[in-house]
Chain A
Amino acid sequence: MSMTKPISRLDVLEAESIHIFREAAAQFRKPVLLYSIGKDSTVLLHLARKAFFPQRIPFPLLHIDTTWKFRDMIAFRDRTARDLGLDLIVHVNEAGRAQGINPIDYAPSLYTDVMKTEGLRQALDRHGFDAAFGGARRDEEASRAKERVFSFRTAEHRWDPRHQRPEMWNLLNGRLGTGESARVFPLSNWTEGDVWRYVLREKLDVVPLYLAAIRPTIERNGMLLVLDDDRMRLAEGEKIVPRRVRFRTLGCWPLTAAIESEAADLLSVVTETLAARTSERQGRLIDHDQAGAMEKKKQEGYF
């Protein structure tokens, strides 16, 4: 039999991700899909559905709600869960909420540590998940470039970059040592452009915040912030200005910068992204908080 079907780049990436999902589902006792509502999570979820079709996804989704997500994100999350009949767990770090930890009065790194990292640790421990799927890509940031597909964490959810398991061929070793759990990254080899092209190809719905629209914004530290409710206090001289903006990456609204754009439909967004002049994480304030921020966060248990 001779070769007939040329396999496209997205087909190759899709098949690899499906392989990873299946390996993890077969090897881990109680996996969970960490769902963060953004485009990467959207693709991740779609691939999970494909991996087990015609069976339902054999694990739940987990959203760590920091209470500062855009309202559009929460609405999208709940609609997606309902439409697809997903088993969705929403977890809030209640201790953090009770202490009033927020991204406005506290340093972004502290806020993220409490509401996101600590929240994640709580949820994983409470439910006894031994593996969590995440949408991280190696092209996102330097410390991710060396990340494994199956990445192990100690009982305290710490990452030890010095003692990572070598991963050869596509043989994924998911055997856990005592107390260990795993993070699994099916999108490891995807780029931002791949994610968008796949969203287009598969006709996936994304949160409307990715599309340009007139939104109330303020300019702070050279970044455009969109005000999602009345919790933001304006500094002197700051004015709320309606601007046509969209987001390249979505997180907590006071920490995620928008970009001015005319791209009001998916195709325009993808076109703009593919011609992008700057790197993606520029819009994440948290990454600029301190040098080597991501590396440190990850060692402490950030995804």
Chain B
Amino acid sequence: MGAVLAKDADHPATGAAAKELLCSSAEITTGDENAQAIVHVLTCGSVDDGKSTLIGRLLWDVADLPEDTRASVAETLLPDGRIDLSRLVDGLAAERAQGITIDIAWRYVDAGARRYVIIDSPGHEQYTRNMATGASHADVAIMLVDARHGVKPQTRRHAAILGLLGVRRVILAVNKMDLVGGNEARFREIEADFRSLTARFAFEEAAAIPVVATTGDNVARSSSTMTWYEGPTLIEQLNRTPPRGSVEAASFRMPVQLVVRRPPDFRGLAGTVTSGSIAVGQTVIDTTSGRRAAVRRIATMDGDLEAAHCGQAVVLQLDADLDIARGAILATPDDPAIRTKRLDARLVWMSETPFDLQRRLFLRSATDLVPVSSVRVSARLDLETLTEIEASDCVHNDVVLAAITLRRPVALDRFADHKGTGALVLVDALTGATVAGGTAVALHEAAGQEEVGFRLTTAMLAEGVCAGVEPTSAEFRRRAIALLKVLKAAGVDAALEANDEEMNGAYLQPSAHPG
């Protein structure tokens, strides 16, 4: 980045000074790919375990805090003369006093070159729902326990949710070690409980660390009293989290968000690469149609790219017009996404309204919105015992296994294979509310290619019923929907080519739910 700036003599930020600034502020390639990473940290635990104090301690010891913030926190001391570190995180306490529920709070903490995004759900209400939401964004989770109480049922719940939502790295912070005299045996006992718990989930890394949040022992500096502990501090362990997009072993996926056009003839597929990478000249396949084409151009406003990698937002121009629209998933032909109308999913039920068979739902995948014809709950996970219990319904904060049938095929992956294209949410068709979030665990491939029978392109509409009407106008849309309704009423499986999932999804006739 410094090099780019240095080229431009007209810009105020030129030369060595700019380069130095940007280097020191973590905006340059350093070779150490962890150096400028953003690490999303979910904190799980209750206020009683000292969560606010631990987050406060992290901020106090490593964050580049404004001086006025430090001074104002240092002003009032606790009865024992220590600084009340929890005040650093209580910006939200005032709101709590006003009766405003804080479900999830995001804090952005710069510690030198690193950015920690601390995701915290302070409240107890809707805990599972909020923790699941937070977990979906987390690279690593800190599970907090009180050394006097050890692993509790709550800890098991946390581990279960983290496991289900694909968090691969967890840290058990055994806090208040000073209250058990810094006793190693006590720590080892808790650590053993933690190991037997985490063994049940597919965590890549699980570390237990004895800490004292109030004094900072083993948070950012090694404890001088618990010398028996030779492992990493909490910060060192957090810093081991690899940055997103740094692992590129997985095969290529790009869910298509929309089609961008530029007259006279540019038509590109816009999306973010969620897995792997793709280069100009490589062949991609659209799972929904089974059609293939080669990548001709990877366009961005900063110039064309030779290759696009995981995490990059790009526009792909193909060498053949595949008539692909929003909802498609581009992949390489050796390992395409799966086209399915039936899937098994794990769901966290988030709606305050209990599960209802009659409710009209949509399934939202990476970029598609598909009408659901049925959802059948088969089992509920008991978060205390971590066993599955046969069930046919659920209420909010339940974690269930469900079989979902869709009205038309959707492109998906198993979440275990591809997070970005295997996650889903269920949306209430009437209110728009997000009623559940989940992961695809099994996909039953749709037999044959049931293509949408008839695709109405903007060009067709412009020459026909919408002749003379501005394509972006409400009138154009109104006429298109009217035509679509007529076609569907006549039994034609039609859809609009335009990026308008509302039109494509909402006007399917609801049919009776089975069961």
Contact = CB atoms under 8 A, between A and B. Distances in A.
A173 B425 contact: yes
Given A267-B18, A276-B66, A55 B261 contact: yes
Interface in A154-177: 161-162, 164-171, 173, 175-177
Contact of A271 (B21, B27, B276): B21
A279 B69 contact: yes
B38 A1 contact: no
B362 A175 contact: yes
A266 B13 contact: yes
A201 B1 contact: yes
Contact of B5 (A170, A180, A200): A200
B155 to A, nearest CB: 22
A203 B8 contact: yes
B32 to A, nearest CB: 9
A55 B263 CA distance: 9
B334 interface: no
Interface string A1-44: 11111111111111100110011011101100000000000000
A88 interface: no
A25 B499 CA distance: 9
A18 B272 contact: yes
A176 B506 CA distance: 12
B272 A168 contact: no
Contacts of B132: 166, 168
Interface string B101-125: 1111111101000010100000000
Place the interface of chain A in its size category. Answer: 35 or more
Contact of B430 (A19, A177, A279): A177
B427 interface: yes
Interface stretch (B140-148, B199-207, B309-317, B380-388): B309-317
B95 A54 contact: no
Given A22-B258, A146-B104, A279-B68, A9 B300 contact: no
B369 to A, nearest CB: 7
B447 interface: no
Interface in A162-219: 162, 164-171, 173, 175-177, 180, 188-189, 191, 193, 197, 200-201, 203
B375 interface: no
A110 to B, nearest CB: 21
Contacts of B36: 6, 8-9
Contacts of A9: 26-27, 36-38, 115
Nearest to A204: B11
Contacts of A55: 260-262
B506 to A, nearest CB: 9
A191 B276 CA distance: 28
B75 interface: no
Nearest to A265: B12
A58 B440 CA distance: 34
B244 interface: yes
Contacts of A277: 66-68
A53 B260 contact: yes
Contact of A193 (B25, B312, B420): B25
A145 B94 CA distance: 13
B432 to A, nearest CB: 4
A19 B246 contact: no
A200 B247 contact: no
Contact of A52 (B22, B100, B260): B260
A228 interface: no
Interface string B23-47: 0011111110100111000000000
B362 A145 contact: no
A240 interface: no
A274 interface: yes
B463 interface: no
Interface residues of B, number: 103
Contacts of A188: 106
Interface in B435-478: 437, 472, 474, 477
A267 B24 CA distance: 13
A296 to B, nearest CB: 9
Contacts of B315: 53-54
A113 interface: no
Nearest to A175: B432
Contact of A279 (B66, B94, B245, B499): B66
Nearest to B350: A166
B94 to A, nearest CB: 7
Contact of A1 (B8, B117, B277, B313): B277
A100 interface: no
Given A19-B257, A175-B369, A295-B100, A7 B245 contact: yes
Interface in A237-278: 265-267, 270-271, 274, 276-278
A22 B270 contact: yes
B276 to A, nearest CB: 7
Nearest to B366: A171
B103 A146 contact: yes
Contacts of B115: 9
Nearest to A50: B301
A146 B106 contact: yes
Contact of B11 (A14, A165, A203): A203
Contacts of A27: 501-502
Contact of B424 (A58, A171, A279): A171
A189 to B, nearest CB: 7
Contacts of B257: 19, 22-23, 26
B313 A51 contact: yes
A162 B13 CA distance: 45
B4 to A, nearest CB: 7
Contacts of A49: 301
Contacts of A295: 95, 98, 100
B321 interface: no
B376 interface: no
Nearest to B34: A6
A15 B311 contact: yes
Q: Which one of B33, B261, B313 has the greatest number of beta carbons of chain A within 10 Å?
A: B313
A67 interface: no
Interface string B1-17: 10011001001110001
B306 to A, nearest CB: 11
Contact of B309 (A5, A146, A162): A5
Contact of B27 (A50, A164, A197, A278): A197
Given A266-B12, A267-B13, 19 more contacts: A8-B1, A9-B38, A26-B258, A51-B313, A146-B105, A166-B130, A166-B437, A168-B132, A171-B365, A173-B364, A173-B434, A175-B362, A193-B110, A200-B22, A270-B13, A276-B66, A278-B67, A292-B98, A295-B98
Across chains A and B, which 9 residue pairs bring their CB atoms closest together, nearest first? A175-B432, A18-B313, A265-B12, A142-B91, A53-B301, A267-B13, A168-B136, A168-B437, A277-B67
18 contacts: A9-B115, A10-B1, A26-B258, A26-B326, A53-B301, A166-B103, A166-B129, A167-B434, A168-B437, A170-B272, A177-B432, A177-B433, A188-B106, A193-B25, A197-B25, A200-B13, A270-B21, A274-B25
